[in-house]
Amino acid sequence: MTIQEKKIYPRTGDKQTVYLKNVIAGQSITVGDDTIYNDFVNDPIQFEQNNVLYHYPVNHDRLIIGKFCSIACGAKFIFNSANHKLSSLSTYPFPIFFEEWGLDIKDVANAWDNKGDIVIGNDVWIGYEAIILAGVTIGDGAIIGARSVVTKDVPPYTIVGGVPAKPIRKRFPEETISALLDIKWWDWPRKKIAQNIDAIQSGNIEQLR
């Protein structure tokens, strides 16, 4: 077991930033190594309770977050149970109140539209108070602007922002993006990553090939 698999706080004296993987208890949330969450309002250890919303076991949906992601304070992941069924003639969630209406408890999930899991790639930066909705996949290397509401999939290495979030620009030329997706440096052994931090930070893609 590595240090990163055991420790909660990456920096000495900083109780606002956590290795997210090491504070998650639920089986329906998966977080990759070195992904961090910062919260200067609430205890970041309470991420699962404060930031992953309407995530009820009855729906079997999942939150999957990759490696080396940076998640800013107040980012929220809103799951399917927050939805109301749009194909119904009423938005009232009758199946939730099965006792009141003589309905079958096994049909509770019929109260909402199920759009699927939330999947976050590797090396993704999610800005302050951004909201990610159910069914969204965010590609590797993407950036989500502060207070954006992400309703649709985000391609790799794309910056999005706004309500609803829309593409602003690609972070790099397509050739560089293709190379990064092929290299997948986040899957390298830690020693190899450490040896190449200068190249990663300076944008030297040729050195990583």
190: part of which helix (H) or strand (E)? helix 190-195
Question: Is 0.85 topped by the overall pTM?
Answer: yes
Q: Give the rounded distance of the alpha carbon of 19 from its chain centre.
A: 14
Catalogue the active-site residues. Answer: 84
Identity at 172, one-letter amino acid code: F
The answer for residues whose C-beta is within 8 angstroms of residue 182's C-beta and 6 or more apart is none
The beta-carbon contacts of 47-52 under 8 Å, at least 24 apart in sequence, are 47/18, 47/20, 47/23, 48/23, 48/24, 51/75, 51/76, 51/77, 52/26, 52/76, 52/77, 52/79
Q: What is the pLDDT along the chain (209 residues), one digit of tens a residue?
A: 454 568 999 999 999 999 999 999 989 999 999 999 999 999 999 999 999 999 999 999 999 999 999 999 999 999 999 999 999 999 999 999 999 999 999 999 999 999 999 999 999 999 999 999 999 999 999 999 999 999 999 999 999 999 999 999 999 999 999 999 999 999 999 999 999 999 999 998 998 98
Do 136 and 164 meet the contact criterion of CB atoms below 8 Å apart? no
Distance in Å from the first CA to the final CA of the chain: 29
Domains of the chain (ranges plus CATH)? 3-85+115-171 (2.160.10.10), 174-209 (no CATH)
Extract the tokens encoding 137.
């996949």
